[in-house]
Amino acid sequence: MTFPLLCCLISYHYAPIMEMKIVSNISDEQEIKTDMEKQIYITDEEREKCRKVANAFAELYELTDTIVVEAGKYGFVKLQYYNPPRGFDSVVTYTDSQSMFDDLWDEWLCEMLLTPVLGTPIAEMTYEKIFKCLPKEKQEELMERRTYFKKKSECSIF
């Protein structure tokens, strides 16, 4: 018996079993979709905290090619680097306010450190080194902004 003929006989003989398996997979897929619909990705409490954090960093959205949007049951999404016609090159999802705050703070601080030195050799340095090169007063001023954003977020957990 040749191989193609053997394959045909096996598939003919086992076709009802294969069909049942396919139907079973469809049922499993529907069950997974149902489970996903029931899945809670962000609590109402965290959603409210994230909303406050997103609003606190509104000035960042004006300075950069960044925006944070609410994504319903999935949490909040940071979209960055808009590139038509593809859309955004970077997408990050948040379901907890602490990680969202930390990330947006880093974005804001990096923007404040890099923008004044663009086009100079200092721009090639790490953000940490740029920060250390600043006068103490400027370092303190930037760090006070972290406190400002915390207060504006109305989040006492940070």
Question: Residues 3-43: pLDDT tens digits?
Answer: 344 343 334 343 333 333 333 444 444 544 555 566 779 99
pLDDT of the residue at 140:
97
CB crowding 35-62: b at 16 or more within 10 Å, else e: eeeeeeebeeebbebbeebbebbeebee
pLDDT of the residue at 60:
94
Q: Where residue 58 falls among pLDDT bands split at 50, 70, 90?
A: very high
pLDDT of the residue at 59:
93
| Residue whose structure tokens are 């940490």 | 128
pLDDT of the residue at 154:
84
pTM: 0.73
Q: Coil, strand, or helix at residue 1?
A: coil
- Give the pLDDT confidence of 75-132 residue by residue, as tens digits: 999 999 999 999 999 999 999 999 999 999 999 999 999 999 999 999 999 999 999 9
